[in-house]
Structure 1
Amino acid sequence: MASKDLALAVCLLILILDIVAGVLGIEAEIAQNKVKHLRKWIFECRDPSYQAFKLGLAASVLLALAHTISNLLGGCVCVSSRDKLEKASPNKQLAVGSLLFSWIILAIGFSMLIVGTLANSRSRKSCGISHHRLLSIGGILCFIHGLFSVAYYVSARAAIREAQRTDQHGDHA
C-alpha cells in the first residue's frame, strides 16, 4: 500500500510542478505585454519586463524539475531495437512513447520559455522581430508535458514491476 501512496504522491508532484510552471509561463506573457512597446509590421521595440523575466525563469526551472523527477523516479525503460519494442509489453511500449514525447515537449517548451525569458532580461531593450506568445505557448506546453511525464512514470513503473515478476517466476517462454 505504501508503494501506491508514493506513486500517487510522485504523480501529483509532477502534475503540480508542471501546472505551476504553465501558469507562471502564461503570467510571464501577461507581464511582458504590460510594458510599453512600439510595433511596426513584424518589427517591435520594447522595454524588458523584470516581472516577466522572473516568472519565465521560475517556469523554466519548474518544468526542468518536473522532467527530472519523472525521469529519475520513473526508472529506466529502454529498448535497443524497433523489433524489441514491437515485442515489448504494452506498458513498456507506452513508457517508451511517453518518454519520447515528454523529451520533445520539454525541448520545445523549455526553449520557448528560455527565449521569452531572455528577451525580458534587464540588460537589453530589444528591437527586432516580434517574439510574441513564446512564454504563453511554453506555458501551455508545460501542461502537456505534465500529462506525458505522468504517463511515463506510471507506465515505466508498471513495466519494471512486470519485468521483476517475470524474473522471479523464471518465465522462460
Structure 2
Amino acid sequence: MKSKAFLKTPLGYALLEGDAAGISRFILTDEDNLPNTTPAPEFTEAVSQLEEYFVGQRKEFDLQLNPQGTEFQKRVWQALQDIPYGKTTSYMELSKQLGDPLAIRAVAAANGKNPLWILIPCHRVIGSDGSLTGYAGGLWRKKWLLEHEQQEKQQSLF
C-alpha cells in the first residue's frame, strides 16, 4: 500500500510517495494548499535527510529508492546518481557514459521522466554548452538547486 507525505521546502511543497519497497516518487509542486500532515513512519528518515539537504548539511542520500520505469530509464537514473554533489554533466556525456553517444535524445527523455527529483539528481544535467536546459520543476528550481550545491559560494566584494 502506497503512502504519501507532503513537506515544505525552499522550492515549494514536495510530494513523497512510496511503500515498503522504497520511495517511488518525490516531486516539487506549485500547489500551496496541500494537507499539512505528519509523515508516515516509513518517511521519517527521508524527510530528515531532505531537511538536512536543504539546509546544506547533506550531500548524499541513503534511502531505499524504488522508481518505476523502463529498464533503459532505470539505467539512466542509476547513472544520474553517480554525478557528484556540486558537479554537473551534459546529456552528451551521460549518453557516452551509458555506451551510446547517439542515444542523447533518449537519455534526455529518460532524465525528464525521473520520478525522484533531487534524490536522483537529474538537475545536475545541463546542455553541452553549459546552459540550463529543461527541468520538470522549472528552470528556476534547477538554477536554485545547482547554486545550492556549489562547493564554493561566491563571496560578495562589497
Per the normalisation by structure 2, the TM-score is 0.23
- Specify which structure has the bigger relative contact order, considering alpha-carbon pairs within 8 angstroms and separated by 6 or more residues: 1
Per the normalisation by structure 1, the TM-score is 0.22
Task: Determine which structure has the larger helix proportion and give its number.
Answer: 1
